[in-house]
A and B are shown apart, each in its own frame.
Chain A
Amino acid sequence: MKTKLACKNVYLLNFSRNSTDRVTDKVPVKEKKLMDVKLGELPSWILMRDFTPKGIAGAFQRGYYRYYNKYVNVKRGGVAGISMVLAAYVLFNYCRCYKELKHERLRKYH
């Protein structure tokens, strides 16, 4: 009976949608993940992030490995993993030279 109650409390504390019960309320703002930060705390959370070169490099590394482990480093990876990267590269280059490209639209008057 006691363990059932304890289990229910643990469940409520970690998974409940009601924000007054979740365990991430008791964690300091600095160590929260982005999805757990409340909207009012957002500016202070952003300012507390590590903006040193090491921190930024760590952020890039984390992002790279997050993508790599999700789409490429899997047992039966397909062409999607690398083609998403290439599509993003094409989009980036398009944004880069948009200024020259907008003169090449098919219009009567430019």
Chain B
Amino acid sequence: MNESLFTSFITPTMVGIPIVLLIIMFPSILFPSPSRLIDNRLVSIQQWLVRLTSKQMLSIHSHKGQTWALMLMSLILFIGSTNLLGLLPHSFTPTTQLSMNLGMAIPLWAGTVATGFRYKTKASLAHFLPQGTPFPLIPMLVIIETISLFIQPVALAVRLTANITAGHLLIHLIGGATLTLTSISTITAFITFTVLVLLTILEFAVALIQAYVFTLLVSLYLHDNT
């Protein structure tokens, strides 16, 4: 049981060739590029969703922040589609790997911080000290704010990894439990199966929510810094 529980999280190789790159690039073929004014239904639905999300997410930003629109939209599309594809049976979810989430979180966060320091140096540095703090507390608070700044990318990555991995593990465990309980007591198996169905619905929601949260936080860091 132990060995089979985590095998779905190892880097996928097929006859010795690592195909993880193919699996990461797979969601891109599900988003065809629009070529006409009115496209087929798939592209129209995706365009509508992207417009809805981008309007809602970029409304709080200034002109400078809105130059990040493409980055934020492709981020939410990638994380959302990768998480949702991971709910298919036997598939590999790249966002369960901490390496990949760190690779997404650190450059984006660093980009927002660098933008802030470059264009609004005083305001960025002022973020280290909340308004109205008593004078003796200032050194300690600056240290705390610095730590909280540097923890932002790590928190972004670990949040995404932990949520998706935990969800997948729960589905594995409860599914396995349901299967073994069918031969022992059918009613308990039925209850466990109901739990499994509810959990799967939750996982669909979590897949989308995590994408949203990731992108929202990046946009928030951007808003602070532009």
Contact = CB atoms under 8 A, between A and B. Distances in A.
Interface of A: 64, 68, 72-77, 81-82, 85-86, 89-90, 93-94, 96-97, 100-101, 103-104, 106
Interface string B18-55: 01000000100110100000011110000000000000
A85 B81 CA distance: 14
Given A82-B30, A89-B85, A72 B42 contact: yes
Contact of B90 (A64, A76, A85, A101): A101
Contact of A90 (B4, B8, B88, B179): B88
A81 to B, nearest CB: 7
B6 to A, nearest CB: 11
A94 B90 contact: yes
Interface of B: 4, 7-8, 12, 14, 19, 26, 29-30, 32, 39-42, 85, 88-92, 179
A80 to B, nearest CB: 11
Contacts of B88: 86, 89-90, 93
Contacts of A93: 88-92
A103 B4 CA distance: 9
Contacts of A96: 12, 14, 19, 90
